[in-house]
Amino acid sequence: MASEQTNKNWPIIAIVGPTAVGKTAVALELAATIGGEIVSADSMAVYSHMDIGTAKPTADEQSRARFHLIDVADPAKPFSVGEFQQLAQRAIDDILKRNPPAIVVGGSGLYVRAAIDGLDMSMPADNQEFRARMVQEARLYGNEQVHARLAAIDPVSAGRVHPNNLKRVIRALEIYEETGKRASELFEADAKREPRYPNTRFFGLTMDRKQLYERIEERVDAMMETGLVQEVSRLLEMDIDPNSIAMQGLGYKEIVGYLRGDIGLDEVVELLKKNTRRFAKRQYTWFRAESRCQWIDVGGRTAAEVSLIIKESLLK
């Protein structure tokens, strides 16, 4: 635990960055050094029964520190960022009272922002009928057609969201459908509000792009070896709708295509690697725009060494 000061004096800490960069390992080392608990800000780790494809912390990792916001949602049911925000802020407030600091860890920029800054929950509620219609349209005609809908009414949002990020594309369309206002305009206005936790310290983890892509490919290979196909098959056997929002997550939609016979196994592995590399690029784009972020090059450094850099920065 902390030696220079009690952990009650640590601010909220956010550890962000692209997939496979090593955020969880660093957070665990930091918690072992200064105390506290980890709040997962990941849009997929919230779902139960979805462990391999989400790269969820292992049982061993979860035994080393207390994690929050993992396995809190049923993949058969809708789960919104608004619901996540309520649970995350409740967890953060609880940690700050009992065992600070709260260490928010994630690569889902919107979920990190929801936890720390808070989103305007006057945004329209989910319209499941509209979402189902858009998901069906994407399945029949491709994600690009749904994305083109968004580009026609909100080119700013369309420019920020890749067509394959169907969940965010549909949400932006849904906001316009329900309010008649562009999502980009509403989010811009929302960004001007004071953050819920203004003393949060942001640390972004980065590494050489080639090295990151190698780690991504190794992770995908490991997921396949540890049973990603079987995990997706079990979800389908549980009658989880393959068109549900949860099943649109990276890794799941690709494997569904393989199980349907639409694509071969070697092809699906290469597709998953390509889609994950693209996802990492979008994560970088999101977090590079975060002016509060102190970036740390983790290439050639152990998780313990990175956690020490964060601790030393906090002490300054």
All structural domains of the chain = 7-120+193-315 (3.40.50.300), 128-191 (1.10.20.140)
87-100: per-residue pLDDT in tens? 999 999 999 999 99
The rounded mean pLDDT for the chain is 92
Residue 233's closest CA among 216, 247, 250, 221? 247
Residue 242's closest CA among 261, 256, 263? 256
Determine the average pLDDT of the residues in 234-254. 94
For residues 302 and 25, the answer to whether their CB atoms sit within 8 Å is no
pTM for the model: 0.81
Of the listed ranges 36-50, 122-136, 158-172, 262-276, the one predicted with least confidence:
122-136
- Which residues have a Cβ under 8 Å from the Cβ of 298 and sit 6 or more positions away? 21, 22, 26, 205, 206, 207, 306
- Model confidence at 3, pLDDT cuts 50, 70, 90, reads very low
Measure CA 8 to chain center: 27
Res 226 pLDDT > 60 = yes
> Helices in 252-295 by DSSP H: which ranges?
252-259, 265-288
Res 2 pLDDT > 80 = no
138-157: per-residue pLDDT in tens? 999 999 999 999 999 999 99
What is the predicted pLDDT for the residue at 91?
98
CA quadruple 169, 174, 175, 180: dihedral, nearest 10: 120
**How, if at all, do strands 67-68 and 293-297 pair?**
unpaired
Give the 3-state secondary structure of residue 104: strand
What is the predicted pLDDT for the residue at 95?
96
What is the predicted pLDDT for the residue at 86?
94
Residue 104's closest CA among 80, 84, 126? 84
- Model confidence at 187, pLDDT cuts 50, 70, 90, reads confident
CA distance 106 to 14: 8
Beta-ladder partners of 294: 203
Residue 35 or residue 123, greater confidence: 35
- Model confidence at 243, pLDDT cuts 50, 70, 90, reads confident
Helix (H) or strand (E) segment spanning residue 157: helix 155-160
What is the predicted pLDDT for the residue at 125?
74
Query: Across the chain, how many H-helices and E-strands are there?
Result: 14, 6
Q: What does the block give as tokens for 78?
A: 């809708």
Res 238 pLDDT > 70 = yes
- Model confidence at 251, pLDDT cuts 50, 70, 90, reads very high
- Model confidence at 121, pLDDT cuts 50, 70, 90, reads low
Token pair 């000061």 in the structure block, residue: 5
